[in-house]
Structure 1
Amino acid sequence: MTTTTRTITIPSQLDPVAVFGPVDEVIRQVEHAFPDLTIIVRGDRVAIVSHSKSTESQASRAEDVIHTIIQAAYSAPMDADTVRRLLDQDVLPNKVRAEHPGYGRSAERGRASLGAARSGDARKPRIPGVITFAAGQPVRAKTAGQIAYVNAVDAHTITFAIGPAGTGKTYLAVAKAVRAFQDRRIRRIILTRPAVEAGENLGFLPGTLNDKVDPYLRPLYDALSDMLGPDQLHRYLDDGTIEVAPLAYMRGRTLNDAYVILDEAQNTTEQQMKMFLTRLGFNTTMIITGDVTQVDLAVPRSGLATIEGILGGIDDIAFAHLDAGDVVRHELVGRIVEAYDRHDATRARRNRGKESREDAQ
């Protein structure tokens, strides 16, 4: 019996966990598709062991699939479900594909995509794949609005994400920042939000300045902790690689080589929004998120509410609008958002009617 081993090494620019998924769940799909082979993962290396000449062709195909997975990881890492679909479409015999719904032409498209990726000519997919992992689960765009949002971030220097609560605006923005940092495309992640209370007065908060502003920034810490783990997050916070700070800390700075996220931007004034946007430096991406229906400011106009009228049409600035259909929390959240939208629309119609009657008098 002839035994041969093919060894594949993951490039140093890639994180093995991002390539093969938590607990190697992605590579296990390849192993399942080729049961006559032995596939071993150790650190950044994968060994494909063929135990006979008859399985050499399978080993070659498995090697191609793994190279495809590695190549995809540079832009949009594949998750286990994506790899399983590709393998089903590429490995199963024609008779099996014909007898199972969901194959046919879609399988042919899948094989064509796989072949393009193997040739190295595949462009970045229009539908983004896994961005990163949070608590062992893949983070990716799930709705049409989220897909448009993520694609806008990839294609523009500044992206505004405007939509109701629960649409993943902040979480996806943090995921994109973490991915860029892990790929070494930027050196820092800076997350900021206005220190504005949501209609309540929290009163005096004890402790240092950081202790006082932490309650306002907790959602950002939570997202980072999910994706990096608490220990790694603390290290990056301690050495300044990741900075989570109130918006007032941005004044007078130029932010280079960074991913900068402004959250809850509906609570900025027009002057604060201008101040933040003009911090943009070289090799920096900015994402601004907010919901114009949840303004907690006691000022006439929100900086987010007016920004599209000011900057709309400028190259390299994108506006992604999400709605109740993009809510990814409990389905009841989507219904609540829709109910409030209907209420606001009804109240606006009543106000217009009242103004018209007053003008007529």
Structure 2
Amino acid sequence: MNKKIVYRVNADGKTGYGHLGRCISLSKFLEGEGYGAVFLLGPDQSGASVAFFRATDSTYQLPENYDEEAEIEAMKQIINLENPSAAVVDLLESSLAMMETIYRSNIPLMAIDDICKNNHMADIIVNAGPVAREDDYKGRRPELLLGSDYLMLRPQFARMAQGRKDNEEPDGIYVSFGGSDPKNYTLRALDMFGTIKNDFSAFIVVGSGYRNYDLLLDRATHSKVKADIRQNEKEPWRIMKWARVAVCSIGSTCWELMLMGVPCITLTQNDNQARYADELAARGVVIHFARNNEFNNDELANTIEKLMGNREMRRGMAEKGRKLVDGKGLERVAKALIRKMKSV
């Protein structure tokens, strides 16, 4: 058996790129422990997922309109060819038959789950969401890694967060809605900037799957606010340190901002994000402003102004966010998988 791990993950404009991003982070950590990476991806018409990979990664891609049978056959071929030590599945909707194919190959299986699906034939289930509960997985006997202790964030964020002082008062507003931003909140945020009365610096970060980049740049030339707009930013932690507040969706970016101590105003894009945001808002960690494009720009600007001007509220949110996200989840998840592989 080779010291390789096969990752089954999708990344596209609809799913977003957070699933792939955390699998890449996990693979890089495990590479340091001597484990290579093999990726089986779904189709990505934008081709944006290619930007995530290194020359050392082995990648396979399913064809457009693939069915369950094609997915199972591809996984069988990879297992036979690569002879991996374990498999990691990170999908919104996992095929039970595909999971069973991995299970029957007698290699450890880790399932990364965001929506509390009780259908994983897995040895380890990771659900780092704030609403994950053991009762969500009744009837299963895997090792459960639940809650924010298992958020898989790039280690650079933790290092940068340690250097950020509580008495610093940057004037930036950081805006990011993930790798694809399917509802195009980014463009609305740029328009909203013109109504904010405070002095501030604007930072807008979009991913490789964002399809309105040219329109965003064009709109920015006519905006009252000069925004620093970046696509595929390799080191977002260096920009986040200049943010006093952030406007974002729930996902990897939001967790990263919490670790950095940046208070977040969230605009959620689907029901699952909204569940997370409601729970985090109840804990006083974020302000859940709106969901599914149902918001008024003037009201959002007013909320930003109030948070920008309320130092005590920002400090309280930052403190709660840092308690929730400590930046060590990637190591915890990787070590759990290593223990499982060594026990087989």
Fold match (TM-score > 0.5): no
Which of the pair is proportionally richer in helix? 1
TM superposition score normalised by structure 1:
0.30
Q: Which is greater in Rg?
A: 1
